[in-house]
Amino acid sequence: MAGAQAETAVYLCTGCPLGCRLEVDAVDGDVIEVRGHTCKRGERYGRQEYLDPRRPLSTTVWVRGAQVARLPVRSAEAVPRDRLVEVAEALRGVCVEAPVQRGQVVLSDVAGTGVDIVATRSLQPAG
Amino acid sequence: MTISSEPRHLDARYDVLVVGAGPAGMAAAIGAREMGASSVLLVDREPDPGGILLQCIHSGFGLHAFREEITGPEYAERFFEQVLDHEVDVLTDAFVMDVTTDRRVKLMSPSVGVTTVDAGAVVLAMGARERTRGAIHIPGDRPSGVMTAGLAQKMVNLEGYLPGRRAVILGSGDIGLIMARRLTLEGVEVVGVFELLAHPSGLGRNIVQCLEDFDIPLHLSTTVVGIHGRDRLERLTVAPVDDERQPLMDRAWDVDCDTLLLSIGLIPDAELARDLGMRMDPLTGGPMVSSTMETSLPGVFAAGNVVHVNDLADWVSQEARVAGEAAGALSTGRMRPLEDIRLLPGDNVGYVVPHTISSDHNQTVSFRVREPIYGDTQLRLGQVHRRKLKAAVPAEMITLKVGPHLLEGFTGDALRVDAVPFDADRDAKGGER
């Protein structure tokens, strides 16, 4: 093994619309310090972004029997960034029946990520 | 929750009538009830309340209103639950055709036909609409496949259609960036985002999580100069632009695609306001308003994107709540605040809302800079207030809290709002600390 590998990664925090510029110091893959954040969530974001970047996912699934064709859904927690497209693909064939309640689980453990997909809108049966 | 196009009852007269049930209208209706209006009618032209929030399925909403980050539909539904709790009458599927200066509101809907409702006060909360191809004069053919980003968002998120297979997005506003990600997740190939300006128009977080996460290229200082296709869009010509934003045609290139989404800005949907003959602000395209969001017509208020295009739905709701509260207070016979100080956009300020303020109460002043300042920025409100910002860009609306603490002792009739680089300000003031 060579000596300790130190690096500084720079990210723009996506935790809120403020968009703080974060600097994450790491040695041998361990986060030593996060700088540039203006809140606790920002520090957590910087650490997470270096170790295992994740994003919340919002998409839609088919809904039958409602006034609209699509039901908006989101991941109950963030999913690995590099699996966003795969998770969206796994949801493409899903169809639910109205009525739907906001917060209702539409699919558990989507694509083996351990993350549930929940409805973000209540829909009554049409007519 | 049940939402119906049949009102529980529709009275002939309401203390307050709100036009538009988006993030502005819902907040205004709640505000009006809380300040004592005994009857409030909320009217929307769509079958469901919520406005454009219903198609904004992404998160980024609610950080101020609910202290947590939620999606557009969740924001709409949670707000609407409060509307129902406040015993507001709601009429959906209803189009407001005309409002008179004595606040007779003519509306039309399948459930009530054409009818007129009298209102003690009216709040206009119609929001904004998107600028289209005609607004920027892109030359070329007129094939299908060219549409605004918000229309594509409605097709994908509500109606279940994809606009095409291979898309280009013109404009780096937030709606365009969000649609780049949205289309990618639905399996549409997004070839790139083109932006006329040298800097992105949308939030930094959206550049990261909508473009960089999916390796979608962003071409700054580049625009679409030609649209080609007989029936369906087949190809675009794009070109870099010089410092004067003129295309450099010798460096133009072609991009094959079947879809062009335009994300080139919003304009207040202010026809009703214009028809009423109220005083309009040419800088915003919306009505001029007082610190309580009252227009030049007594008893007619306006708030949210119909007044000026905001960055966040949360701010729209905050502003509209002020309008609703004032409309509600007026209906109970309370006096208007003394409104005697005009606000004027000064150095590097594109517009200011509201257009007048009062030294009687606290108010929020919103404005945008014209040119970006990437560094310490001095904000000045006449001689009465200064604030330093780390940077100021047109994409981000700036707000100042202004109240009696600042205006006490001010005897003039107008205040200028300036936003200038910090050093220049210091030079102008001869080394002032």
Smallest CA–CA distance, residue B155 to chain A, in Å, is: 10
Residue-level pLDDT at B268: 97
Q: What is the pTM of this model?
A: 0.93
Instruction: Clarify whether residues A44 and A69 are in a common domain.
Output: no
**Is residue B382 domain-resident?**
yes
Comparing alpha-carbon positions, the chain A residue that sits nearest to B395 is A17
- Is residue B140 domain-shared with residue B252, that is, in the same domain? yes
B82 within a domain of the structure (yes/no): yes
Domain range for B286: 13-129+267-331
Q: Do A75 and A104 belong together in one domain?
A: yes
SS3 for A85?
A: helix
Q: Which residues of B touch A124 (CB under 8 A)?
A: 2-3
Residue A125 within any structural domain of the chain: no
Q: What is the pLDDT of residues A39-62, one digit of tens each?
A: 999 999 999 999 999 999 999 999
State whether B108 and B159 are in the same domain. no
Angle subtended at Cα B351 by Cα B205 and Cα B193, rounded to the nearest 5 degrees: 35
B260 and B273 share one domain: no
- Give the domain CATH number at B137: 3.50.50.60
Q: Are both A73 and A104 inside the same structural domain? A: yes
- State the ipTM, two decimals: 0.92
Same domain, A47 and A70: no
Assess whether A66 and A43 both reside in one domain: no
Could you list the residue range(s) of the whole structural domain that residue A13 is in?
A: 6-51
Whether residue A113 is contained in a domain is answered as yes
A74 and A93 together in one domain: yes
Residue B433 lies in a domain: no
Question: Is B302 part of a structural domain of the chain?
Answer: yes
B212 Cβ contact list (under 8 Å, min separation 6)? none
| Count: domains in chain B | 3
* Preferred mutation among B46, B57, B75 to probe A, highest tally of A CBs within 10 A: B57
User: Which contiguous run of DSSP H or E holds residue A117?
Assistant: strand A117-119
Confirm or reject contact between A121 and chain B (CB < 8 A): yes
Per-residue pLDDT of chain B (433 residues), as tens digits, is 345 555 556 889 999 999 999 999 999 999 999 999 999 999 999 999 999 999 999 999 999 999 999 999 999 999 999 999 999 999 999 999 999 999 999 999 998 899 999 999 999 999 999 999 999 999 999 999 999 999 999 999 999 999 999 999 999 999 999 999 999 999 999 999 999 999 888 888 899 999 999 999 999 999 999 999 999 999 999 999 999 999 999 999 999 999 999 999 999 999 999 999 999 999 999 999 999 999 999 999 999 999 999 989 999 999 999 999 999 999 888 888 888 899 999 999 999 999 999 999 999 999 999 998 989 999 999 999 999 998 898 888 999 999 999 998 898 999 999 999 987 656 555 444 3
Over residues A64-106, the pLDDT tens digits come to: 999 999 999 999 999 999 999 999 999 998 999 999 999 999 9
User: Could you tell me if B114 and B147 lie in one domain?
Assistant: no
Q: What is the 3-state secondary structure (H, E, C) of chain B?
A: CCCCCCCCCCCCEEEEEEECCCHHHHHHHHHHHHCCCCCEEEECCCCCCCHHHHHCCCEEECCCCCCCCEEHHHHHHHHHHHHHHCCCEEECCCEEEEECCCCEEEEEECCCEEEEEEEEEEEECCCEEECCHHHHCCCECCCECEEEHHHHHHHHHHHCCCCCCEEEEECCCHHHHHHHHHHHHCCCEEEEEECCCCCCCCCHHHHHHHHHHHCCCEECCEEEEEEECCCECCEEEEEEECCCCCECHHHCEEEECCEEEECCCEEECCHHHHHCCCCECCCCCCECCCCCCECCCCCEEECHHHCCCCCCHHHHHHHHHHHHHHHHHHHCCCCCCCCCEEEEECCCEEEEECCEECCCCCEEEEEEECCCECCCEEEEECCCEEEEECCECCCCCEEEEECHHHHCCCCCCEEEEEEEEHHHHHHHCCCCC
The pLDDT assigned to B6 comes to 57
Q: Which residues pair with B226 in a beta bridge?
A: B237
Question: CA nearest B74 in A: which residue?
Answer: A120
The mean of the pLDDT values for chain A is: 93
Contact B185 A59 (CB under 8 A): yes
From B248, B264, B280, the end of a domain falls on: B264
Q: Tell whether B296 and B373 lie within a shared domain.
A: no
Q: Do A60 and B203 touch (CB under 8 A)?
A: no
Does B162 map to a domain?
yes
CA distances for A73 relative to A106, A110, B46, B315, angstroms: 8, 12, 21, 24
Number of domains comprising chain A: 2
Among candidate residues A117, A2, A12, the one with its CA nearest the CA of residue A61: A117
Q: Would A1 be classed as within a structural domain? A: no
